[in-house]
DNA sequence: CGCTAACTTGAGGTCTATCAAGAAAAGTGG
DNA sequence: CCACTTTTCTTGATAGACCTCAAGTTAGCG
C-alpha cells in the first residue's frame, strides 16, 4: 500500500480505528484538529524495516493497522524481540532522537506519523497527549516485566503456551468475543519470529507447537491457524496464575 | 532506621540527595514547596518487604537511599527479578492502585512518599512532575528491553559480566570517577538475588563468578567486594556492543 | 513445474539445573 | 572472646532441557 492509497476517511481522526486507544485517546475535538494538521501517513510492506537501531528518527508514530516488531541484536547475530507493536501502539520517544532497536513491519503496516518537533510542542501545550503517553508507557513497562519473567524462568513449553494465550486473548478482544468458547486465530509470526520473541530456537518452537498439538492443548489447520478448545487448559500450560495475568 | 531518625535536613527538598534525578527534578521552588507539604518519609530494614504483589498501594514514592528490588513469582516458586530500584528511582503507578510485583528492601531503605491522591492532583496541576515521570518511565522501559535481550539470549558468563558492568558503571557515576582506571565496588546483591535477576540458579552464578575470577577478568576481596582492572575486558565478556550500551 | 521459504523431525552435544556435601562468613548467646 | 547456629557461598557429580547440525517435508509463487 503506498501513500496515495490510504483511505481518505482515515484523514479524519474521528473515524480512525485506533482513535480510542492510541496516544490521542484523551484529546478533545480541538486538540484533534491540531493533530490532524501535523499528522501524515506512512505505509510499509511486510518484511520492510521501518528504522534501524541507532538511526535518527525524526518522527514518532502510532500503528494504525498491521504489526511491527522491535528487536535487539548482539554483535554475533543473536536476536531478541523486545516488543510487539499492535494497532494503537506508539513508536518513538519524545526527547530522544535515536532509537535503540530495529523496528520491522511483520505484516503490511500503516502508521500515523508526527514529525518530532511539532509533536513535542503539542505535548508542552496540551497535557492530554503526555498523560496518555505516560499511561501507555507504564502499560508497556508492565508488559515488558511480565515478559522478563517468561524469558528468565519459563520452560519452552510454557513460553509457547504463554505466547499463544496472549495472541488468542488479544484476537478475541479485537473480535469482541468472550474467551469461553473455542477460539481460533492466525499466528502473525513465523516460527523464527516466535523463537526470537521467546528466547528459543525455531526448532524448539516447532517441536513444542507439535507437542501441544499432540497433547490436545491446541489444534492446527495448516501451519498458522490455531484452534484452542479449552482456553483454561492453555493458561495452565502457560504456568501463570489461574487468573491469567493482565486483562486484554 | 526509624522514622524519627530521618535527618531533618532531608525535609528540605533543596538539600535532598536525589533532588536532581528524581521525579521532582524539573520542579521549580514553588512546586517543591507544594511537594514538601504532602511528602513524608518511610524507612525499611534490609530484607523487609515494602509491598506484596497484588496489594493495594496507597502511596507512590522515590527511593532516597538504599536499594529495593521488584520481583515476580510463578505459582511453583520460580522467581524473576524484574527491576532494581536505586536512589532516585520511582515506585508506584499513578492511576492504578495495585502493584504487580513484590517490592523488597535489599539494603536499609529510605523512601520519600506521597499519598496517591494528592500526588495525582499535583500531576494534573503542574506538568513538570508528569513530564519527568514520563521521561523516567521511558528510561526504565529501555532498560527493561535491554534486560530482555540479556535474559533471552546471553550465556551465563555474559549475564554475570553484564550485571557486574552495570553495577560498576553506576557505582563509578555515584563516586564521580571515570571508568578508565581500576574500579572497585561492593555487590549489593547476594548470589541468589543475582540469580533471580539473571534468570539463573545461585550455583551457576557462583561458578561463573569463580570462572571470571580465575580468568583474571575480575578479582575478589571477600565474597562481595569486586575489583575490575580492565573495564573494556569486562564489557567484552558481557557480549555487548563495544560502546557498552546506554550511558549510565 | 521447479524454486524458495517456512516448517518439521531426528541425532547428538552442550550448557545450565538439580542434587548433594562441605567451607566460609556472619550472627547469637553464654 | 569463644562455641554454636544460621546464612551465604563454593564445588562436584549427574541429569535434563534446549541447541546445533542435518535431512527431509510442505506450502507458496513465479
B126 touches strand C (CB under 7 A): no
B225 touches strand D (CB under 7 A): no
* Residue whose C-alpha cell reads 540527595 in the numeric block: B17
Return contacts of B128-132, CB within 8 angstroms, 24+ apart.
Answer: B128/B26, B128/B27, B128/B28, B128/B31, B129/B23, B129/B24, B129/B26, B129/B27, B129/B31, B130/A127, B130/A130, B130/A131, B130/A134, B131/A130, B131/B26, B132/B23, B132/B24, B132/B25, B132/B26
Residues in A 201-220 whose C-beta is less than 7 A from nucleic strand C are: 202-203, 205-207, 209-210, 220
Q: Are residues A13 and A77 in the same domain?
A: yes
Angle at A1 between CA A83 and CA A118, to 5 degrees: 65
pTM of this prediction? Answer: 0.92
What does the pLDDT read at residue B6? 58
Of A80, A144, A153, the CB nearest to B80: A153
Predicted local confidence at residue B14, as pLDDT: 87
| A193 and A89 together in one domain | no
Kindly list the distances between the CA atom of residue B159 and the CA atoms of B195, B201, B238, in Å, as whole numbers in the listed order: 10, 12, 7
Residues A70 and A121 in one domain: yes
Which one, of B89, B116, B117, B114, lies nearest residue B103 by Cα? B89
Is B96 (CB) below 7 Å from strand C? Answer: no
Residues A166 and A92 placed together within one structural domain of the fold: no
Find the chain B residues whose C-beta atoms sit closer than 8 A to any C-beta of A: 70, 72, 74-76, 78-80, 82-83, 93-96, 100-101, 124, 127, 130-131, 133-135, 137-138, 140-142, 144-149, 151-154, 198-199, 239-241, 246
Same domain? B85 vs B110: yes
What mean pLDDT do residues A15-32 have?
92
Nearest to B138 among A79, A137, A146 (CB): A137
- Taking CB atoms and an 8 Å cutoff, what residues of chain A touch B99? none
Assigned domain for A143 exists: yes
Last residue of a domain, one of B126, B150, B174: B150
Q: Percentage of chain A with pLDDT > 90?
A: 78
Cα A40 to Cα A3: distance, rounded to the nearest angstrom: 9
A153: nt with nearest C1' to CA: C17
Q: Give me the CA A240–C1' D6 separation in Å, rounded.
A: 34
pLDDT confidence of residue A73: 95
Please give the Cα distance from B156 to A155 (Å, whole number): 17
* Minimum CA–C1' distance nucleotide for B154: C15
Determine whether the interchain pair A153/B93 forms a contact, defined as Cβ–Cβ distance below 8 Å: no
CA of A13 to nearest chain B CA: how many angstroms apart? 25
Question: What is the C-alpha separation between A245 and A239, in angstroms, rounded?
Answer: 11
Q: Are B184 and B228 in contact (CB under 8 A)?
A: yes
Q: Are residues A194 and A125 in the same domain?
A: no
- Show the domain range for A140: 3-150
Residue A243 included in any domain: no
Q: Write the CB contacts of B66 (distance below 8 Å, at least 6 apart in sequence).
A: B44, B87, B105, B106, B107, B108, B109, B110
B205 within domain boundaries: yes
Establish if B244 belongs to a structural domain.
no
* Nucleotides in D strand less than 7 A from protein CB: 8-13, 17-22, 27-28
Question: Does B243 reside within a domain?
Answer: no
On the question of pLDDT at A193 being above 90, the answer is yes
Q: Is residue A245 part of a domain?
A: no
pLDDT in tens, A227-248: 999 999 999 999 986 554 444 4
Please write the tens of the pLDDT for every residue from B97-148: 899 999 999 999 999 999 999 999 999 888 889 999 999 999 999 999 999 9
| Within a domain: A95 | yes
CB B67 within 8 A of CB B107: yes
- Judge if A230 and A169 occupy the same domain: yes
- CA nearest to nucleotide C9 C1': residue: A207
Task: Give the one of A130, A135, A140 whose C-beta lies nearest to B141's C-beta.
Answer: A140
Q: How far apart are CA B65 and CA B17, in angstroms?
A: 9
CATH number of the domain to which A112 belongs: 2.60.120.10
- Distance, CA of B188 to CA of B23 (rounded, Å): 24
Which residue among A131, A148, A246 places its CB closest to the CB of B148?
A148
| CATH number for position B187 | 1.10.10.10
Q: Are residues B93 and B173 in the same domain?
A: no
Same domain (yes/no): B31, B80: yes
Q: Measure in Å the smallest separation between the Cα of B72 and chain A Cα atoms.
A: 7
Q: B115 and B199 share a domain?
A: no
- Cβ separation of B149 and A74 shorter than 8 Å? yes
For strand D, is any atom closer than 7 Å to the CB of B12? no
Given an 8 Å threshold on Cβ–Cβ distance, is B145 in contact with A79? no
Q: Which of A150, A184, A210 is the last residue of a domain?
A: A150
Whether residue A138 sits in one domain with residue A21: yes
- C-alpha distances in Å from residue B198, one per residue of A148, A152, B75, B148, B149: 10, 7, 19, 10, 11
**Domain check: are A160 and A145 in the same one?**
no
Is the CB of B141 less than 8 angstroms away from the CB of A137?
A: yes
**What is the spatial order of strands in the sheet that B102-105 belongs to?**
B49-51, B102-105, B68-73, B79-85
Residues on chain A touching B131 (C-beta within 8 angstroms): 130
Q: How far apart are alpha carbons B218 and A150 in whole angstroms?
A: 30
Taking contacts as CB-CB distances below 8 angstroms, the residues of chain B near A152 are 80, 151, 198-199
- In angstroms, how far apart are the furthest CA atoms of chain B? 57
Asked if residue A4 has pLDDT above 90, the reply is: no
pLDDT of residue B218: 96
A200-211: pLDDT as tens digits: 999 999 999 999
**Is there contact between A62 and strand D, defined as CB under 7 Å from any strand atom?**
no
Q: What is the pLDDT of residues A119-152, one digit of tens each?
A: 999 998 888 899 999 999 999 999 999 999 999 9
Name the domain boundary from A109, A133, A150: A150
Nucleic strand D under 7 Å from the C-beta of B86: no
Q: How many domains does chain A have?
A: 2
B96 inside domain:
yes
**pLDDT, averaged across chain B:** 90
B200 touches strand C (CB under 7 A): yes
Question: Which nucleotides of chain C does any protein CB come within 7 A of?
Answer: 6-11, 15-20, 25-26
**Contact call for B130 and A133, based on CB within 8 A:** no
The partner residue sitting opposite A134, judged by closest CB among B134, B152, B246, is B134
Per-residue pLDDT of chain B in tens (248 residues, 90 and over written 9):
444 455 555 678 988 999 999 999 999 988 899 899 999 999 999 999 999 999 999 999 999 999 999 999 999 999 999 999 999 999 999 888 899 999 999 999 999 999 999 999 999 888 889 999 999 999 999 999 999 999 999 999 999 999 999 999 988 877 766 656 688 999 999 999 999 999 999 999 999 999 999 999 999 999 999 999 999 999 999 998 655 444 44
Amino acid at each position: 500500500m503506498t501513500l496515495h492509497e490510504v483511505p481518505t476517511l482515515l484523514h479524519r481522526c474521528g473515524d480512525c480505528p485506533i482513535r480510542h486507544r492510541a496516544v490521542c485517546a484523551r484529546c478533545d475535538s480541538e486538540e484533534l484538529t491540531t493533530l490532524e494538521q501535523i499528522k501524515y501517513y506512512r505505509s510499509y510492506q511486510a518484511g520492510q524495516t521501518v528504522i534501524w537501531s541507532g538511526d535518527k528518527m525524526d518522527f514518532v508514530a502510532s500503528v494504525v493497522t498491521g504489526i511491527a516488531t522491535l528487536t535487539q541484536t548482539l554483535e554475533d547475530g543473536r536476536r531478541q524481540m523486545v516488543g510487539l507493536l499492535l494497532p494503537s501502539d506508539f513508536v518513538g520517544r519524545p526527547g530522544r532522537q535515536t532509537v535503540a532497536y530495529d523496528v520491522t513491519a511483520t505484516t503490511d503496516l500503516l502508521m500515523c506519523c508526527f514529525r518530532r518537533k511539532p509533536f513535542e510542542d503539542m505535548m508542552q501545550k496540551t497535557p492530554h497527549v503526555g498523560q496518555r503517553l505516560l499511561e501507555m508507557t507504564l502499560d508497556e513497562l508492565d508488559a515488558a516485566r511480565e515478559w522478563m519473567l517468561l524469558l528468565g524462568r519459563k520452560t519452552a513449553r510454557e513460553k509457547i503456551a504463554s505466547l499463544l494465550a496472549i495472541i488468542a486473548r488479544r484476537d478475541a478482544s479485537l473480535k469482541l468475543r468472550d474467551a469461553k468458547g473455542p477460539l481460533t486465530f492466525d499466528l502473525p509470526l513465523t516460527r523464527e519470529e516466535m523463537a526470537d520473541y521467546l528466547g528459543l530456537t525455531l526448532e524448539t518452537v516447532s517441536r513444542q507447537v507439535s507437542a501441544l498439538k499432540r497433547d490436545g492443548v491446541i489444534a492446527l489447520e495448516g501451519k498458522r491457524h490455531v484452534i484452542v478448545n479449552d482456553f483454561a487448559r492453555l493458561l495452565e500450560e502457560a504456568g501463570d496464575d489461574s487468573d491469567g495475568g493482565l486483562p486484554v
